[in-house]
Structure 1
Amino acid sequence: MLRPVLGLFFAFLFVVVRAENDWSTPCFNGQCSYDIPTSSEVSGTLKIWGASDAISDITPAAGWTILDCDKGAMAQDVRLVCHDSTGCPHLTLNTGAAGKLVRLPESCGQSAFARVTRDWVHANQTLPAELASKLRRRDGELPEVKGLSIDADFDSPASQAGPVNFAIHGLTSSVPPNPAPQRRSRFAPAQRTVNDRSVISVLQQAFQEFNSFNQSTMQKLPEVNLKKSFPLLDEKLSCPAIGKLPAFDVSVSGDVEMCAVLNVTVALTAVGTLMPANFTKFGLVVGMDADLEGTLTLSSTATATLDSGKVELTQVGIPGLDFPGILTVGPTFVVQAELTGTLDVEVDLTVDLSYCISNAKLFYPPSPYNTNSGKFTPNNSPLNFSVSPGFKSSATLDAHIIPGLDFGISAIGDLAQATISLDFDASSTMTLTLDGAANASGNVSTSGVDVASKSASVNGCVDIGAGLSINAGADGSFFGLFDFAPSVNLFTKNFDFFNKCFGTQAGNSTASKREVKSMELSEYEYEYGVALSRPRRRELAKRASVLSCPASGTTKVVPVADAVVSSASIKLKN
């Protein structure tokens, strides 16, 4: 069991971020902050702290004017000049410039902060004429132009002054501006607000505010709206003549039509040290409202063993959070599908797996102090199923349509990389137990679905189930933070979608069930820190299906079900 502070840490994800960075105040007191620009679709604050000799500043607020600097470079030589001698000495104070972490102006360097590796008097002492006229002293002399070598190699030992700590908080909302600061002396000592103890106090405060978190107050990422058809498998086989039966062709084909509308909010927090590089805590919370609909169409005239493997159908990138050189999180909407089974009779199947998820809050890594929550509702679902009459069959089918969110994480110049994945595995299973010996009576099932006609020679039972499983997991190495729970099942429910017997077995009863219209995700409990259910995600792998020729050739299928299954009639399996 992890310490209670982890629960407070997760609660910290929901504190409303306020702008921390103040470009008018130099970073001379052992702490500094940087905010993602408000023009971005996400907001975030990076705060660093340590000894006052471990952190400095080369922005105008610290007395420096940058003369030459590449905005897109991580490692480079910078040319700069001091325009205010009251602040510039802090760069070399006590321990010298080399080894210090410095804040950079937004026009200099790709990262908000950089490590100084060397400083010197630059060979190029030229200044722009206008700047030279401002800086020229009464004796006619100009200040020396300095050179600094900087990089983002944070995976290095701590400086002489000790380690530099960091905390990152990011979320998909606008950052409200801070109130105007009161006027004070430019270099007066500021009250230190961040240290190891105060981080804990911030987490405690956030825990108290957790229950007031309202997802609707957060700005959502751009809506994902996808409607597209994808081929899942297409296998053909030419069969030789059998006696008087001429040669014929058989095939198995499957397609997925995906329709998804997602509105996502994301909050994350990371805590650790930059020098030396280490993440000690990381947490991600996803808020989501979604309508997910996947339609599987399968047609088979062959005897077949099906195994499509896990197939990735599409990816859609979503704007992420980026503190270059320190932490980058890039979300992607992914749709996967998988189809396995054994078919020994001709089948045509179209089944719609449709769900609505509202006000979902899902945590990773899991925490005993925070509960996944939200409402899950199955929607009305079309079902179209036909089968060859008069044949014995023990066919089975297991189909999965899996939309999900992948959060690719890269830290400290790709020193650590991982992917946190959140999958919504919508599944359908089919089991046939037919002996093909009798005529069926036309009737209506308890779910309101018209079933086989009187002339249809179908004898036995058809059972079609559906389900939703929400799984979270992590792949990769990320400072050992996800090793204790790489894969967890957050929610699983299975349903009887259609269950009917025909012919001599028409009177057979089915297992006891209860109707379900919606469920709270928080109703499902899991054992904290233990991977449950099947592994969250198998490696993508295309595997071949095996087709063989039916001994009787092909026949005409007859309808068994053709209607819309009402969400009110879907039965929850006990």
Structure 2
Amino acid sequence: MLTVPLLLIPFVCGVHAANSLDVACKGECSYEIPGDMVSGTLKVSGASNAVSDITAAAGWTILSCNAEALAQDIRLACQTADCEHLFEGHGAIDTLIRLPRTCGANAFARVADIRVDPDQTLPSEVEATISPTGNITSMVFILSVDINFAAIDSTKTGPVRFSLEGYNFPVANITPSTSPTRRDARGLKTRNWTVFNDTNSFDLPALHIDETFPLLEASVDCDDFSASISANLATKVDATVSIGLIASGTVIPPVIDEVAVFAGIDGGILGTLDLTSSASGTVSTGKISLYSVALAGIDFPGLFTLGPTIGIYGELDATFDDADFNLSVDLAYNLNTKAFFPPETETSSGASTPANSTLVFSAVPDLTLNGKVEPKLIPELKLGLEAFGLISAAVLLDVEGSLSATLAISGSGTADAGHGTAAVASDQIDNACVDIGAAVSVNLAAEGSIGLLGIADSAAYTIWADTWELYNKCAEAEGSTKRDVEAAAALVLSGIARRAGITCPTTSSTVASIEKIIDEIISDIKSSSS
């Protein structure tokens, strides 16, 4: 990792507030992100003639432009002698300019070309306000602009530095020290970085997810029935997400000295695994994308963009013998975590609190089951970072919640049912043991062209991890019970079943679902939940 300290040089236009459009940019300038729920300030500074302006404060009148484009031709007229600043020094081409709010999606652009417009016609209302002084007042130009800052010859302009801060919540008065200084990254905690310790005081937009996602459905044809396995993951997330970005370097040439990203997740997460099996074998789904939604980000168009996306991933690993059972179990916890990337920027922290969890389990009595089920629910916050149109990287904050359920059941009895019919069976479970543990870990990683950001290519960190026991109970049952028995419903045979590694059970049972309440375990669960 590069050891260049984070530069937080506060470039300001005199004593005026950021983004003040009544003061022309001459060598240094600021831009403030508009909006009530997002805060951000970008500052640039260079030689007097390297940074200029085409707003009214700089003596220009815009006649036509595209309000959304990052590269375009702008028709504009010189209104006062102040406009001549654009042509001083090395000339207009390759000057970094500030754009009016209504002209272009970006705040700053490169002058790629400028020429006199053959059509010198001015609207009468504009012509009436033209100052008679100056060498080029009343002249109309065509200005070509883009964000190709890498094309600028920095030996002519000299370097143009930038520093920026952005947050997805309101922060008043982002005003770094007024003297240019080099500040070690650890010093950020004495600045606005500390606002992340107070994010609970802001009304951040709430994230609500309440959906059931299929993890696996597979079947295999047996002699006179189908053996199958199916698993769903019901997911509920109620949380808030806070993000922040600090970066510095040079726009001319495009170089990033240091970048630091913050992410925080605060809220409740619930995942309920519903698993039904009438087969034997081993299944492993791998990491499956279940859900994805983009959130509001931090955008300095043409320079830096930090775009967050929330994704939900699921995974299931299971191994069992002659398994004919239903299992429903919760992974529920409350989460509060703050992560800084790179980690040297600040000490990341986090905590999880187990929430009430329920378990429902039923099984065919005439089996001996030894199985292990390991589901995972992984909310992931992905912070996509783009810079100068040259760098594309992402910081990933994974919250990996997992269960490890070990099932051990022995029983004896008979079950007799014709395919597709119902019957009455008499049987007995000798004993049943359920051992379920839960774990949550928060992991931070980066991908993409992160080397250009001064971050190690193999950057991956575990912020913290927590484990707890949900259930560890054995029960014995005596006597016979009567139950309705349903024959297995045939499922469409597909390659999924073979890839999942399931096989027909070796027992004579053909049932797919028999509801058998293990009284002692259920009683224990109810008392734990209450």
- Separation in structure 2 between the aligned mates of residue 470 and residue 388 of structure 1, nearest angstrom: 38
1:423-474 deviation digits (Å, cap 9, x = unpaired):
2111111223455589xxxxxxxxxxxxxxxx84244643221111111212
**Partner residue in 2 for 1:534:** none
Q: Structure 1 residues 474, 208: closer, same or farther in 2, change over 3 A?
A: closer
**Partner residue in 1 for 2:505:** 550
Q: Displacement, 1:351?
A: 0.7
Q: Displacement, 1:38?
A: 2.8
- Separation in structure 2 between the aligned mates of residue 426 and residue 314 of structure 1, nearest angstrom: 16
**1:88-127 alignment to 2 at 5 Å?**
88-127=83-122
- Separation in structure 2 between the aligned mates of residue 274 and residue 401 of structure 1, nearest angstrom: 41
Asked if 2 retains the 8 angstrom alpha-carbon contact of 1:156 and 1:277, the reply is: no
**Partner residue in 2 for 1:33:** 30
Q: Structure 1 residues 458, 45: closer, same or farther in 2, change over 3 A?
A: farther
> Does structure 1 residue 167 correspond to structure 2 residue 139?
no
Q: Displacement, 1:294?
A: 0.9
Identity %, equivalent residues? 36
- Separation in structure 1 between the aligned mates of residue 453 and residue 286 of structure 2, nearest angstrom: 30
Asked if 2 retains the 8 angstrom alpha-carbon contact of 1:220 and 1:263, the reply is: no
Q: Structure 1 residues 492, 103: closer, same or farther in 2, change over 3 A?
A: same
Q: Structure 1 residues 382, 58: closer, same or farther in 2, change over 3 A?
A: same
Residue number among 56, 59, 64 corresponding to 2:52 in the alignment: 56
Three-state SS of the structure 2 residue aligned to 1:393 is strand
> Does structure 1 residue 80 correspond to structure 2 residue 76?
yes
The number of residue pairs the alignment matches comes to 484
Residue range with higher mean Cα deviation, 331-340 or 543-552 = 543-552
Residue number among 424, 437, 441 corresponding to 1:469 in the alignment: 441
**1:520-559 alignment to 2 at 5 Å?**
544-552=499-507, 553-554=509-510, 556=514, 558-559=516-517
Residue range with higher mean Cα deviation, 202-211 or 386-395 = 202-211
The amino acid that maps onto 1:90 is H
Asked if 2 retains the 8 angstrom alpha-carbon contact of 1:437 and 1:459, the reply is: no
Asked if 2 retains the 8 angstrom alpha-carbon contact of 1:432 and 1:462, the reply is: yes
The amino acid that maps onto 1:239 is C
Residue number among 343, 352, 359 corresponding to 1:383 in the alignment: 359
**Partner residue in 2 for 1:352:** 330
**Partner residue in 2 for 1:255:** 232
Q: Structure 1 residues 220, 143: closer, same or farther in 2, change over 3 A?
A: same
- Separation in structure 1 between the aligned mates of residue 310 and residue 505 of structure 2, nearest angstrom: 41
Residue number among 131, 137, 142 corresponding to 1:147 in the alignment: 142
Three-state SS of the structure 1 residue aligned to 2:125 is helix
- Separation in structure 2 between the aligned mates of residue 19 and residue 563 of structure 1, nearest angstrom: 65
Residue number among 396, 404, 422 corresponding to 1:421 in the alignment: 396
Three-state SS of the structure 2 residue aligned to 1:38 is coil
Asked if 2 retains the 8 angstrom alpha-carbon contact of 1:101 and 1:113, the reply is: yes
Three-state SS of the structure 1 residue aligned to 2:358 is strand
Q: Displacement, 1:255?
A: 0.9
- Separation in structure 2 between the aligned mates of residue 425 and residue 135 of structure 1, nearest angstrom: 64
Q: Structure 1 residues 481, 201: closer, same or farther in 2, change over 3 A?
A: closer
The amino acid that maps onto 1:107 is T
> Does structure 1 residue 431 correspond to structure 2 residue 406?
yes
- Separation in structure 2 between the aligned mates of residue 558 and residue 178 of structure 1, nearest angstrom: 62
- Separation in structure 2 between the aligned mates of residue 494 and residue 205 of structure 1, nearest angstrom: 32
Q: Displacement, 1:117?
A: 1.7
**1:1-400 alignment to 2 at 5 Å?**
3=3, 5=5, 20-28=18-26, 30-39=27-36, 41-85=37-81, 87-135=82-130, 137=132, 143-159=138-154, 160-176=156-172, 193=178, 195=180, 197=181, 200=183, 204=187, 207=190, 214-216=197-199, 219-240=202-223, 247-344=224-321, 345-358=323-336, 360-367=337-344, 370-400=346-376
> Does structure 1 residue 491 correspond to structure 2 residue 464?
yes
Asked if 1 retains the 8 angstrom alpha-carbon contact of 2:38 and 2:166, the reply is: yes
Flag structure 1 segments of 5+ consecutive residues without an equivalent.
13-17, 180-191, 241-246, 439-454, 505-540
1:153-207 deviation digits (Å, cap 9, x = unpaired):
122344312121111100123354799xxxxxxxxxxxx9464x2x539984752
Three-state SS of the structure 1 residue aligned to 2:463 is strand
1:29-80 deviation digits (Å, cap 9, x = unpaired):
x2111111134x3111111112222111111111111112111222222221
Asked if 1 retains the 8 angstrom alpha-carbon contact of 2:360 and 2:522, the reply is: yes
The amino acid that maps onto 2:286 is G
Asked if 1 retains the 8 angstrom alpha-carbon contact of 2:199 and 2:242, the reply is: no
1:100-141 deviation digits (Å, cap 9, x = unpaired):
1011111112211110122222211010011112227499x9
1:296-349 deviation digits (Å, cap 9, x = unpaired):
110101113212221111112211111111111111221110011212122211
Q: Structure 1 residues 410, 282: closer, same or farther in 2, change over 3 A?
A: same
Q: Structure 1 residues 37, 163: closer, same or farther in 2, change over 3 A?
A: same
The amino acid that maps onto 2:334 is C
Q: Structure 1 residues 216, 409: closer, same or farther in 2, change over 3 A?
A: closer
Three-state SS of the structure 1 residue aligned to 2:128 is helix
- Separation in structure 1 between the aligned mates of residue 297 and residue 122 of structure 2, nearest angstrom: 39
Q: Structure 1 residues 565, 493: closer, same or farther in 2, change over 3 A?
A: farther
Asked if 2 retains the 8 angstrom alpha-carbon contact of 1:308 and 1:542, the reply is: no
Asked if 2 retains the 8 angstrom alpha-carbon contact of 1:19 and 1:45, the reply is: no
Asked if 1 retains the 8 angstrom alpha-carbon contact of 2:412 and 2:428, the reply is: no
Q: Displacement, 1:209?
A: 7.1
**Partner residue in 2 for 1:533:** none
The amino acid that maps onto 1:397 is V
TM-score scaled by length of structure 2: 0.82
Asked if 2 retains the 8 angstrom alpha-carbon contact of 1:474 and 1:487, the reply is: yes
TM-score scaled by length of structure 1: 0.76
Asked if 1 retains the 8 angstrom alpha-carbon contact of 2:358 and 2:529, the reply is: no
- Separation in structure 1 between the aligned mates of residue 165 and residue 194 of structure 2, nearest angstrom: 19
Flag structure 2 segments of 5+ consecutive residues without an equivalent.
11-15, 414-426, 478-495
- Separation in structure 2 between the aligned mates of residue 205 and residue 400 of structure 1, nearest angstrom: 35
- Separation in structure 1 between the aligned mates of residue 504 and residue 444 of structure 2, nearest angstrom: 41
Q: Which has the higher strand share?
A: 2
